[in-house]
A = this chain, B = another copy of it.
Amino acid sequence: MAHTIAVLPGDGIGPEVMDQALRVLDSVKEKFSLEVSATTHLVGGAAIDDSGTPLPADTLAACEASDAILFGSVGGPKWENLPPDIQPERGALLPLRKHFGLFANLRPGVCLPQLIDASPVKNELISEGFNVLCVRELTGGIYFGTPKGREEREGEEAAIDTMVYRRSEIERIAHVAFKAAQGRDKRLTSVDKANVLAVSVLWREVIEEVAKQYPDVTLDHLYVDNAAMQLIRRAPDFDVIVTGNLFGDILSDEMAMISGSLGMLPSASLAEIDEKGLSFGMYEPSGGSAPDIAGQGIANPVAQILSLSMLLRYSLGAVEAADAIDAAVAKTIEDGFRTGDIYSKSEGETLANTKEITDAIL
C-alpha cells in the first residue's frame, strides 16, 4: 500500500535532525518494502521568512493530502517578538492540531537505565530508569474554550479564558489512555484539580465511568499540584498519566526534563482511529528547536527518529519497521553512542555527532 507523508523540518535543529530521520526512513523502506513518499514543506519561522505566515496554505494542503505529518521543531530568537498568534510555535502547532482534530497527544517520558546520569534527578531515585507515558488532551480545555479575550469586569479592563470540556471529549481521551495502559503496566493516573475546578469534577466523573470498561487497569487520581511534586520524587512509580490540555502541557514538559534526555523523546498527536485501526497523526520531537546548537551537526536526532517510528506504527501500520527502529535505537545506546546532551564521560561511551549516531542506528 502506498503512503504519503508530509515532512515539515521547521527551524533550528529541525532540518538537520530531519535529514537523519529521512535516512532512517529510506533504510526501513528498503528493508521492509514499504511504499512511502515524503514531500518536504516550510513551517514555522522558515515559513514566516518566506511568506509571512508560520503555516502557509500550501503546507496545510500538503498535510491534507498525506497520511501523516513528520514535524521537526519551530521557533527561535528571530521570531520571538512577533505577536503570539503568528509566532512559529503557536501559529503552526495550534492550527494544525485543531484542523486535523489531533486530540490525543502521546508523550513518552523515558529515562533509560544507561542515561540516568543525564537526568537532573538524583540517581538513587531513578536507579533503573523509568518509562512513563503522558496522554494529554490536545484540542480542548482552556486552549480553545470560548469566550476568550478582553472584556470589562467590575468597571475595568479584564481578560478571560474559558476552560471547558464536554463529556465526549473526556471520554475519547480516556479510552486512548486506558487502551495505552492495557498495552503497558495497566496502571493509569488521572491528573486534575477537582478540589477547585468544575471541569475537573466532570473530568474525574467521566474517567471513573470509562474505567468500568477497563477492569484490568488500576486507576488513581492526583491533583495537578501534587502530581508536579510526585513526578520529581517518584517518576518510576508511574505508568500512564492522562490529563487535560493545560495540565498536560506543564506536566509532560516537566516529565521530559526529569528524564534528562529531551533529545531522545518523540511525541505523537493523533486524530480518531479509522476503520483500519490507524490514525492521521503529527509526530515531533518533545524538545524544541535548540537555536543555540543549530547548524553545528551535534544535535541529538533520536527524538526525530523515534517520532518517525511512532508515525510508522500509528499512522501507517508499519509495525515491523517501527519495532526495528526502536530496537536499533536501544542497541545504539547500549553500545555506548552518545550525542553531547546525554554524554556523561563514563567508560564505554563514545561521543557522536548527529550523523554518527544515526550511522550507528542504521
- Count copies of this chain in the complex: 2
Q: At the interface, yes or no: A125 with Cβ under 8 Å from chain B?
A: yes
- Chain B positions within 8 Å of A254 at CB level: 225, 228-229, 232, 254
Q: Tell whether, in the assembled complex, residue A154 and residue B166 are in contact, meaning their CB atoms are under 8 Å apart.
A: yes
- Chain B positions within 8 Å of A273 at CB level: none
Q: At the interface, yes or no: A57 with Cβ under 8 Å from chain B?
A: no
The listed residue with most B CB atoms (<10 A of its CB), out of A145, A156, A166, is A166
Q: Tell whether, in the assembled complex, residue B257 and residue A228 are in contact, meaning their CB atoms are under 8 Å apart.
A: yes
- CA–CA, A103 and B67, complex, Å: 50
- Given the known interface contacts A84-B201, A87-B195, A232-B120, the answer about A163 and B163 at a Cβ–Cβ threshold of 8 Å is yes
Q: At the interface, yes or no: A293 with Cβ under 8 Å from chain B?
A: no
Q: Which residues 80-111 of A have a CB within 8 angstroms of B?
A: 84, 87, 89-90, 94
Q: At the interface, yes or no: A168 with Cβ under 8 Å from chain B?
A: yes
Mind listing 7 A-B residue pairs with CB under 8 Å? Answer: A84-B195, A142-B197, A153-B166, A156-B166, A156-B168, A159-B164, A161-B164
Chain A positions near chain B (C-beta within 8 angstroms): 84, 87, 89-90, 94, 119-123, 125, 142-143, 145, 148-150, 153-154, 156-168, 193-199, 201-203, 224-226, 228-229, 232-233, 246, 249-251, 253-254, 256-258
